[in-house]
Structures are given as C-alpha cells and as structure tokens.
Chain A
Amino acid sequence: AQKITQTQPGMFVQEKEAVTLDCTYDTSDPSYGLFWYKQPSSGEMIFLIYQGSYDQQNATEGRYSLNFQKARKSANLVISASQLGDSAMYFCAMREGRGSTLGRLYFGRGTQLTVWP
C-alpha cells in the first residue's frame, strides 16, 4: 500500500487565490511527521512546512498552512494568495517513528501546481 497518496496530478489556480493540495497518508505508527516540499524546475527540493503527529495545532508558515485531520489521515497543504512563483511540483512526505535521526522519508508522486495571472 502507498504510504503517501497525492490524488491531484495537476492543479491550476489564479494569482492571489487560495489553493489546497491534497495528501493522505497510511501508517500504523502513532508517532510520525508530515512534510511538504516544493520542487521548481531547477530540481531543488524546498522545505515548506512540517506537522508532527502529536502537534495539537495545524502548522503554519507564512502563506502556507497544513490542514491536519488525524482521524482522516490527511495533511492537505493550503497556499493562500497564490503567486506566479508558486508554480512548481509539490510533494507530501512522511517520516514514521521518532528516532534519533530523520530516517527515511516516504514521498507521494507530487502535484504540479500552475498559477496563472
């Protein structure tokens, strides 16, 4: 079974509008972490936001927020006020457990976001 599922291969949003990128995860470990990364065409993976399984509040970082619904096992990324520079591939990832190192990240297949003027 897939650990991370991103069901939207592509999304389109107009500049200044908000957009939600979906992510569901599958784990039986009570301790896990969820990540979102942005990958522009240059290839570099840019860290956006992190949510721990025990965090009580949804994570926010500037225009990015993570809509964490633990019972549904979903961790959707919300980008408010989209900008042209937000056009990129977005990956959801998960780490299981709480070891002394980051460990292995499981990635989804990504969502290609296109922001149009």
Chain B
Amino acid sequence: KAGVTQTPRYLIKTRGQQVTLSCSPISGHRSVSWYQQTPGQGLQFLFEYFSETQRNKGNFPGRFSGRQFSNSRSEMNVSTLELGDSALYLCASSLGDTEGRDTEAFFGQGTRLTVV
C-alpha cells in the first residue's frame, strides 16, 4: 500500500512569488492535514481537510491556503512568499472515520521550501 506522497521534495522560490505544494494521501484516507516545521517554531498546524471541506485552521495568515479534491488529494498554496516561509511542509493523511476512530496519522516525507 503506497504511503503519503508529497511533491515536489525540494523547492527554491524567490521572495514575492507564490508556490503550490501537493499531497496524495494513502488510498482510502479522506482526511489531509498540513504542518509547517521550522527550527524556531517547531511543528505548527496549518489546516485540515476532509471530504473537500476545510475542517480546522491554524493561526497562519491568509497567504496560506489549501484545498482538497474529490480524490482526497490536497494542495497547499502560499502567495507572496516571505523569507520566513522557508520550512519543511509536512502533509498527514488519516482515515477520517466518522465514528471517531481516527487514531493514526501518516506523514509524507515533506516538501522543503527555501525562499531566497
């Protein structure tokens, strides 16, 4: 069974540009969450999507947005990039079970974004 796939693995962008990151969850998983990891702030929750709807949102500016498609694949977009957006962006896939039995989240290898 394939794991969580994030593309691209590495990305270098210039300040002011925008970027789109992609996440394909494990087959059958309907919930996708995004996290930003930096040395200074650690792991911070960005947002969660389930069945194409944003369920939860972290404390990030509106430049960070996301969406989920009908096949559960998710994309995250960051507009007007700033140097501080340089980070490892991790996507987590979980079952999204409606009976509250979600007990595992599987992460992808992440996209390492560098803003110069």
Contact = CB atoms under 8 A, between A and B. Distances in A.
* Chain B binding surface, main DSSP class: strand
Given A98-B100, A101-B48, A43 B88 contact: yes
Contact of B107 (A47, A100, A110): A47
B96 A102 contact: yes
A104 B58 contact: yes
Interface residues on chain A, size class: 20 to 34
Interface residues on chain B, size class: 20 to 34
A104 B109 contact: no
A1 to B, nearest CB: 15
Contact of A101 (B55, B106, B108, B112): B55
Given A103-B48, A110-B42, A33 B103 contact: yes
Contacts of A98: 100
B107 A37 contact: yes
Contacts of B107: 37, 44-47
Given A43-B88, A47-B104, A107-B43, A102 B109 contact: no
A25 interface: no
Contacts of A108: 42
B94 interface: yes
In this complex, which of A47, A106, A109, A110 has the most chain B Cβ atoms within 10 angstroms of its Cβ? Answer: A47
Interface of B: 31, 33, 35, 42-43, 45, 48, 50, 55-56, 58, 88, 90, 92, 94, 96-100, 102-110, 112
Given A100-B98, A102-B92, A109-B42, 6 more contacts: A50-B104, A100-B102, A101-B31, A101-B96, A103-B48, A105-B35
Interface of A: 33, 35, 37, 42-47, 50, 52, 91, 93, 98-110
